[in-house]
Structure 1
Amino acid sequence: RVREQTERAVAEADLVLFVLDAREGLVPEDEAIARLLRRANAAVVMVANKCEGRASDAGFYEAFALGLGEPVAISAEHGQGMGELRDAIAPHLERHGARAKAGAAEASIGDAPRRIEIAIVGRPNVGKSTLANRLLGEERFVTGEEPGVTRDAIDADFDYGGRPLRLVDTAGLRRAARVVDGVEAMAAEDTRRAIGRCQLAIVVLDATEPVNKQDLSVAALAAEEGRALVLAANKWDLVVDRDATRRALLDRIEISLPQVKGVALVPVSAASGEGVDRLMETAFAAHGRWLTELGTAELNRWLEHAIEGHSPPLVSGRRLKFRYATQVGKRPPAFALFTNMADKVPESYLRYLANELRASFGLEGVPIRWQLRQTRNPYARKARGA
């Protein structure tokens, strides 16, 4: 009965939104529906829901195997990806003469550009709330010396430099051993969730103190979640030897955060406003790089050049070979690499490729995702036949 209703709905529809659970990954029912859609030659937009964290990465990439095009990543619960989904639907509406309906729908949403969701994160008392208040131009968030003064995760919509933004400010991550009360534990979880749902993470450091493990863990979490990232060295007005401090900060970051090599560090004073405009300009640039799309032809020219510059290593006496590369995702950029030994590619060589990619295409500080895919051995079947 359900199958009959599905077939009837597909036959009557001008466009099918095929919704997948990216956390769960592909299930047999998804494959059955995909076969139905292909047989019906239906116009389809694949929608990968629940894409608010890295747990959804595998399911998102699996969707490509259905052969129905690139899925649109969304989180219906958090309202993420709605603009991209609308963009994917719009051409189909126009094609079917529904311009008036599309215009009405757009008017109900508003004509303003989509808001960039920003999380200001860092350990306690580095000046996150002061920076948030500076950006907003008002004392929206309470500040103070006691760790955890800002206890609630609060969203605030505002414009900066003509750009619509949504700011999430939280109490910051604390060392697990020091989280002794339920409220502070909730604040730490709020910060993790803020990183998970933002597009751009501004990690605030205290420039008057050395970078510590907690600072690095916050930045590493943002990189792991694949967010656009910029580091703000706050309290710069209190720094005496600025050159030495800047060198020390950059050296520690370069050594400890290789996964976002070249990430920008911007000195600021949230209290006085020094450097805040430059911070936001740098943040917008990082967000733009995060949205990068590379053509397959230029990507494979780059791959050939990168391999010539540093040959892949021998693995178990065999030469590792890369046949082809293509971009399979963005936000952050994700690339499929087709190789003869997908399960044996050393992490060190992937880091080399990521750094070469950043240097070649201006992707400094952008997390890079690799998806390794096995190429077929053309001689394997002949050997079995013999």
Structure 2
Amino acid sequence: MTKPLVAIVGRPNVGKSTFFNRVIGEKLAIVEDLPGTTRDRLYGDGEWNGRYFTLIDTGGLEFESEDEQKKESENKGVDSIREIARQTRAQATVAIEEADVIVFMVDAKTGLTSTDRDIADILRRTKKPVLLAANRADSEERRQNSVEFYELGLGDPIPISSYHGTNTGDLLDAITENLPPIPETIEQAQIRIAIIGRPNVGKSRLLNSLLGQERVIVSDVPGTTRDAIDTEIIVGDKTVTLIDTAGIRRPGRIDIGVEKWSVMRTLRAINRSNVVLLVVDASEGITAQDAHIAGYALEESKGIVLVVNKWDKVEKDNTTMNQYVTKIREQLDFMSYVPMIFISAKFGQRVNKVLDAALTVAEERHKRIPTATLNKVMRDAIAAHSPATKPGKWLKLLYVTQVEVDPPTFVFSVNDAKQVHFSYQRYLENKIREAFGFEGTPLKMIFRGRDESDD
């Protein structure tokens, strides 16, 4: 399921980034006492009362009067500053359009300003839930004075202090109450396959080759695709949605403006997919950014098919493919279970195998193992290779069961979860794969400890 989006908007220097950092639990946003520090949107996952959402920190919104615009237009030295301001407004505007819930943050210390009124005029025209947060209400006097924000016509202001955490729980309660409802049933028949990768590796050409038609623009200019484009097809008795996405560059090379939002849409496409086709360029080999993009998919526990495109550009002999496979497996050793297909999307070489591999991975994600069979395999694995333990502290596997599919999730009941080293967890995962397959899909493995007296 796609996580709902919550956008924090407001004028510069009202504490948006401080609230953002508090909710996501890390200092991802730069916090300075200077207006306009945040120019691009920042994204992070938040959770409250069992509801998960993606929080968007936006740059401060500022508006100029006609006199100010005329005055600045006469000064060429401020052109770049004005362009940054325009880009910041564009970023925040897109965030407002895409968000499910909007948090409009104002400053209880400074009080109501004309910019607050301008922003409120924009937000009143949206059909989104808007929550009015009066930040820096660090004293009883400021909390009482926050009633002046009723003038904005956006409902009751919620006085908070992002820095001290005062009443931020009340704001989060309001956010979760306004999130879209969780569907009672989740459609399992539909398979969503996202095509992801760096710019200009052939993602759009692969989609066109799969479809046999020019569904999307194909260009040799990196960054042609800006939105995630969905195409629905029927394969046998299955409905499959193919999602073409914009290329993801290294963070330091992501430009201010529409490209930044394109990256967010790509990440959302990954989030709502079952399987991703990670497209890499055979002529360039595996890059660090390819590994980072694979990491995005693995963090969301998505199935992966590694598609090595532009194979026609590689000079080959009888050993070339095996050498490439060995090298790629070494570079991406954290996803050795992922199927790999060498193709030329331009000439249609082996493209027909890509969709078959993706559908196979989708089926593997729904595989369920009987509990008795699973426990026997795990006990045999432990008997063959006991975990390393400290004197007097022995790790005992009490019980294991598969609790979910898509992705496959296993819960291990052990006497002491702290004794499970990550290397031994990987060993058990490999044994599960040897016995039951699960090709192309990550496995979630949860270890829960309990006292010996509860055995």
TM-score normalised over the length of structure 2: 0.58
- Whether 1:166 aligns to 2:260 is no
1:134-183 deviation per Cα after TM superposition (whole angstroms, max 9, x unaligned): 12222121121221111111111122456421111111211111112311
Within the alignment, does 1:24 sit opposite 2:48 as a pair?
A: yes
| 1:206 maps onto 2:268 in alignment | no
* In structure 2, distance between residues paired with 1:221 and 1:169: 16
CA distance in 1, matches of 2:395, 2:185: 37
Distance 2:273 2:412 in 1: 27
Aligned residue number for residue 196 of structure 2: 121
Q: Which residue in 2 is equivalent to 1:308?
A: 383
> 1:204 is matched by which residue type in structure 2?
V
Partner of 1:329: 404
1:354 maps onto 2:378 in alignment: no
Deviation at 1:330? 1.1
Q: How far apart, CA to CA, are the structure 2 residues paired with 1:359 and 1:25? A: 38
CA change 1:280–1:307 in 2 (3 A) is same
Deviations 1:330-386 (A, max 9, x none): 111110111111123110000111111111111233201111111221299xxxxxx
Is residue 264 from structure 1 mapped to residue 339 from structure 2 by the alignment? yes
Once the two structures are superposed, the pairs formed by residues 1-386 of structure 1 within 5 Å of their partners are 23-26=47-50, 82-84=186-188, 114-160=189-235, 163-241=238-316, 244-315=319-390, 317-378=392-453
Q: TM-score, length-normalised on structure 1?
A: 0.68
Amino acid at match of 2:406: R
Measured after TM superposition, the shift of residue 201 of structure 1 is 0.5
Distance change (3 Å), C-alpha of 1:81 and 1:300: same
Letter in 1 for 2:339: A
Q: Secondary structure at the match of 1:167?
A: strand
**TM-aligned CA distance change 1:76 to 1:276, over 3 Å:** farther
The CA distance in 1 between the partners of 2:334 and 2:372, in whole Å, is: 25
Contact 1:327 1:334 in 2 (8 A): yes
- Show the counterpart of 1:59: none
- 2:342 and 2:350 in contact (8 A); partners too: yes
Partner amino acid, structure 1, of 2:208: N
Shift of 1:25: 4.8
Letter in 1 for 2:216: F
Call closer, same or farther: CA 1:347–1:253 in 2, change over 3 Å.
farther
The amino acid that maps onto 1:24 is: W
Bigger CA drift: 122-131 or 306-315?
A: 306-315
- Tell me if the contact between 1:259 and 1:367 (Cα under 8 Å) persists in the aligned partners: no
Q: Which structure has greater helix proportion?
A: 1
Contact 1:211–1:249 under 8 Å retained in 2: no
Distance in 1, matches of 2:236 and 2:351, equals 12
Work out whether residues 50 and 77 of structure 1, in 8 Å CA contact, stay in contact via their aligned partners in 2: no
* Structure 2: stretches of 5+ with no match in the other structure: 1-45, 55-178
Partners of 1:242 and 1:80 lie apart in 2 by: 54
Residues 326, 169 of structure 1: alpha-carbon distance in 2 compared, 3 angstrom cutoff = same
Q: 1:78 to 1:376 in 2, by over 3 A?
A: closer
Determine the structure 2 residue equivalent to 1:38: none
Q: Do the aligned partners of residues 122 and 353 (structure 1) sit closer, same or farther apart at CA in structure 2, a change above 3 Å counting? A: same
Larger Cα-atom Rg: 2
Partner residue in 2 for 1:92? none
Task: Tell me the matched-pair count.
Answer: 287
RMSD of aligned residue pairs (Cα, Å): 2.7
Partner amino acid, structure 2, of 1:219: A
Q: 1:153 & 1:78 partners in 2: Cα distance?
A: 23
Partner of 1:66: none
User: How far apart in 2 are the matches of 1:210 and 1:256?
Assistant: 10
1:46 match: none
For residues 191-218 of structure 1, what are the alpha-carbon distances to aligned partners after superposition, in whole Å with 9 as ceiling and x for unaligned? 1111111011010011111101111111
Identity among equivalent pairs (%):
37
Q: Which blocks of at least 5 consecutive residues in structure 1 are unaligned?
A: 1-21, 27-48, 53-74, 85-113, 381-386
